[in-house]
Structure 1
Amino acid sequence: MSAPGPLVVVGDALLDQDIEGSATRLSPDGPAPVVDVTEDRCRPGGAGLAAVLAAREGREVVLITALGDDEASRTVRRALRGRVTLVELPLTGELPVKTRVMAGGRPLVRIDRGGGRPGAPDDAVREALASAGAVLVADYGRHAAHAVREQLAAAAHRVPLVWDPHPKGDDPVPGARLATPNAAEARALCPGDGTTLSDDALRGAQLAERWAAASVAVTLGERGVLLTSPGQDTPMLVPPPYRAVGDPCGAGDCFAATAAAALADGALPGEAVERAVAEACAFVAAGGAGNPALWHARAAADETLPSDAFALARSVRARGGTVVATGGCFDLLHAGHVGLLESARRIGDCLIVCVNSDASLTRLKGPGRPLTPLADRMRVLGALGSVDAVVAFEEDTPAALLTELRPDVWVKGGDYAVDDLPEAAVLREWGGQAVVLPYLAGRSTTMLAGRAARAAATVTGL
């Protein structure tokens, strides 16, 4: 049975930036690699990432975190819009930004800058915690949890509370259902020379007793997780289901978010940890926090999509990225559409889909169409991981819409020739390019509709 209230995530949001490139030479002025940048990505980190991961399956999630008036805070707000409900603490100073410079998919250096101090909670924060069905504390040592410690202590006696601690943060409040330090954090919190499995198990049990927590899960990376409890001599070791090769960035947040969601649904700590280990393993294998599919899926309501499309295009252009657009009716989404959209997304830094309105589609395809109304078509397209935004147009062609969006690349399937595209001339006005991509043969809405009609006639005997 689901918890009666939302899952409330409390903690320190960060802005994570990945600068990707290749390093094939050293700088002439020192023995340092030169990185030729190919991509620059930003996303919410810390508690912001944990909240997004907790909300992936449609769960209602409220994020309580400190944000300010700086550009990093504004970027995080935009990225979280439509995914979680944001309840803010005031932030004095700037939001921390953590930048990884990557070459060949491997980090060369991390640069940290910024930082501030959360202010006191207001009524909205207190009400959010009072109505929580479960709580996850994603502590990154920046004191957001400290600002609402009194409310967290009350929540721990009422609903499941998971605390992901940090050596520079507060101890979990008494009564936490589960605390989730990694091995390095546990060793920092319980100093000692031992690094064996039994040493980590002992630390977990000691921390559970010190924190008055029901259980402590010490995460061990590739070895899995040790689940301990106060005074327990024999811990449970939960190994990963397979060896995941990928970027581990965000794996701890994924583990904690999954465990909190499982406890919110009534799972026991052992069941929650097993589920969280499997999910964290899959998360790493899929590319970790940098997996584009995690951030391309749109949870915003249909009516917000058009404005998102224009804002997205402006944002991508402003940072020097490539805006890709494609268009069509998408009356019955099929494998040909999916393949085209996935290929189009790989061309640039965002993909905007321009969709014929119902009236436009009827003029183009004739009576009886559309089979699927515009709102449903937009919702299905917006749910695809390859699609960043969807916008409708009323005219027979998207030329006017493209003039406003000004994409760098316009994509159509291989059943067109570039010279036949009226949009090609429009794109040339601002230096854009129309391209044709290979199209999966034998798939079309007309063919699907005909097949369904024949099947229906067979069933009814007509």
Structure 2
Amino acid sequence: MQLPSPRYDQSQVLVIGDVMLDRYWVGETSRISPEAPVPVVKVNTTDDRAGGAGNVALNIAALGAAASLVSVVGRDEAAEVLRGQLGAAGILTDFQVSVDKPTITKLRVMSRHQQLIRMDFEQSFGPDDCSKFADKARQLLSGAGVMVLSDYAKGSLANCQALIAAAREQQVPVLVDPKGSDFSRYRGATLLTPNIHELEIVVGACPTEQVLVDKASQLMQELELSALLVTRGEHGMTLLRPNQPELHLPARAREVFDVTGAGDTVIAVLASSLAAGYSLPEATGLANVAAGIVVGKLGTATISGPELRRAVGMERGVERGVVSVDQLLIALEEVRQQGEKVVFTNGCFDIIHAGHVGYLEQAREQGHRLVVAINSDESVSRLKGPSRPINPVERRMAVLAGLEAVDWVISFSDDTPEELLRLIKPDVLVKGGDYSETEVVGWEIVKAYGGEVAVLNFYENCSTTGIIEKIHETS
């Protein structure tokens, strides 16, 4: 399956569920306590992160989508920390405040990238603590493309049916990250995302693929689900839909460092992708790539839209070489985040000669990355005459892509690269020849957004026309 380059700026997702504060105390250990056989941690760093439904919302916001969050917190300092962090990420929070229970907080003591102990501060919420959830959901659903129920079995989703009914009234898909042994609470949802252990608690052991498919199919029928996505750790994930063949995606992680919050990332990418209009298989593929990234990070983590697009781009092989416009834009977004300077040049490059090689090396020296745009065959014929090009565009691009100085090669069919310049917005536009700056095609486009224009000299006695004329003479 060819994954799309995901864009989430038009996605809006409503998240409802159990929010918590993940608190980390980090320090060095160099001795054992004289009071008990436990390590002594000298804490030198503290870190607070939104967890649970809060982490789902943060993942959605990091992707570039709009996120709203409905949850319940206590009247305490942890709630204020959550409001501050989530608000800073642009997330609209609508919290119901419990009068007698604290904000759920999980404290982890870390040393040398290892958890030594986790302490949970929590009390399960009751119906009174989340009595306003359905009303809050109805108010926020009108602008949402997808609703996520993030269930951590802390009590805030005791009345899932009212929330699912509210979403169905407005024809908004409902995605559920489930917990517990009774999935009937989620009847009528669009998609459930249990891990394999959670699924087996409900349906029994699934020792073979066929047993998994059969039991999952029966569960979907009983609960009136449109789909079931089972995450399976090192075995990847499997998407199951009624009357359709299962879609199995292998795990993408190169190194598993910490699985904390990986399920939050999966459902966040699924929801954002569906809200953006991608198909369920495409959304699943993107979520699988995202999961492979996030498990390589420490603690409750998110991934950004550019990070995901770069990972998808690497699968397409766009680290360098011949690319499409979409692939190039993904690659440039990543290098610009690293502060790298993008150089652009263009030409026919019909027969690559020493002059071209020297010129391209000089062009690359103007920045960090070099994009070479070459005229299509039809464009070359219009500019050079019906006998040109000598080499078709695929061969010209292949040769250019093999040069050390060149990062990306792209073709264009117009007579000038002006449309490409408007899209790419290079930091430096380079042209070779005896030109003034204002004679370079596209100079005014580049100057308008603050870019530079550079004119480099071609090597003397090196030209494609001269090479062709000499071949004719010798023949």
TM-score range relative to shorter protein: 0.5 to 0.7
Q: Name which of 59, 63, 66 aligns with 1:60.
A: 66
Deviations 1:116-147 (A, max 9, x none): 33231174443113442211111111232334
TM-score (norm 1): 0.59
Contact 2:8 2:65 in 1 (8 A): no
Contact 1:8 1:132 in 2 (8 A): yes
Q: Which has the higher contact order (CA 8 A, sep 6+)?
A: 2
Give, in whole Å, the separation in 1 of the partners of 2:198 and 2:78.
27
1:155-166 alignment, distance < 5 Å: 155-156=167-168, 158-166=171-179
Give 1:70 shift. Answer: 1.4
1:227-242 alignment, distance < 5 Å: 227-230=239-242, 235-242=246-253
Give 1:253 shift. Answer: 0.1
Report SS of the residue matched to 1:145.
coil
Change (3 A) 1:5 1:226: closer
Deviations 1:371-404 (A, max 9, x none): xxxxxxxxxxxxxxxxxxxxxxxxxxxxxxxxxx
- Residue 243 of structure 1 aligns with an amino acid whose one-letter code is R
Could you tell me the percent identity over the aligned residues? Answer: 29
Question: Which residue of structure 2 lines up, in the alignment, with residue 221 of structure 1?
Answer: 233
Contact 2:182 2:202 in 1 (8 A): no
Structure whose alpha-carbon radius of gyration is higher: 2
Contact 2:237 2:288 in 1 (8 A): yes
Give, in whole Å, the separation in 1 of the partners of 2:268 and 2:227.
16
Give 1:202 shift. Answer: 4.3
Contact 1:142 1:169 in 2 (8 A): no
Contact 2:11 2:276 in 1 (8 A): no
Give, in whole Å, the separation in 2 of the partners of 1:146 and 1:106.
34
Contact 1:175 1:212 in 2 (8 A): yes
Question: Which residue of structure 1 lines up, in the alignment, with residue 267 of structure 2?
Answer: 256
Change (3 A) 1:20 1:198: farther
Alignment partner of 1:140 is 2:148: no
Aligned residues: CA RMSD: 3.6
Give, in whole Å, the separation in 2 of the partners of 1:196 and 1:337.
45
Report SS of the residue matched to 1:29.
coil
Give, in whole Å, the separation in 1 of the partners of 2:266 and 2:118.
23
5+ residue gaps, structure 2: 1-6, 305-334, 341-427, 441-475
Contact 1:129 1:151 in 2 (8 A): no
Give, in whole Å, the separation in 2 of the partners of 1:178 and 1:238.
17
Give 1:261 shift. Answer: 1.1
Change (3 A) 1:52 1:32: same
Question: Which residue of structure 1 lines up, in the alignment, with residue 105 of structure 2?
Answer: 97
Question: Which residue of structure 2 lines up, in the alignment, with residue 384 of structure 1?
Answer: none
Give, in whole Å, the separation in 1 of the partners of 2:208 and 2:43.
41
Q: Count the aligned residue pairs.
A: 310
1:352-363 alignment, distance < 5 Å: none
- Residue 190 of structure 1 aligns with an amino acid whose one-letter code is V
Q: Name which of 62, 78, 87 aligns with 2:94.
A: 87
Change (3 A) 1:156 1:239: farther
Change (3 A) 1:236 1:178: same
Give 1:214 shift. Answer: 0.9
Change (3 A) 1:35 1:154: same
- Residue 282 of structure 2 aligns with an amino acid whose one-letter code is E
Report SS of the residue matched to 1:17.
strand
Question: Which residue of structure 2 lines up, in the alignment, with residue 174 of structure 1?
Answer: 187
Question: Which residue of structure 2 lines up, in the alignment, with residue 49 of structure 1?
Answer: 55
Give, in whole Å, the separation in 2 of the partners of 1:459 and 1:149.
67
Give 1:148 shift. Answer: 5.9
Contact 2:173 2:190 in 1 (8 A): yes
Give 1:191 shift. Answer: 3.6
1:339-354 alignment, distance < 5 Å: none
Give 1:169 shift. Answer: 7.7
Contact 1:135 1:162 in 2 (8 A): yes
5+ residue gaps, structure 1: 295-333, 340-450
Alignment partner of 1:29 is 2:35: yes
**Which of 219-228 and 8-17 deviates more?**
219-228
- Residue 188 of structure 2 aligns with an amino acid whose one-letter code is G
TM-score (norm 2): 0.57
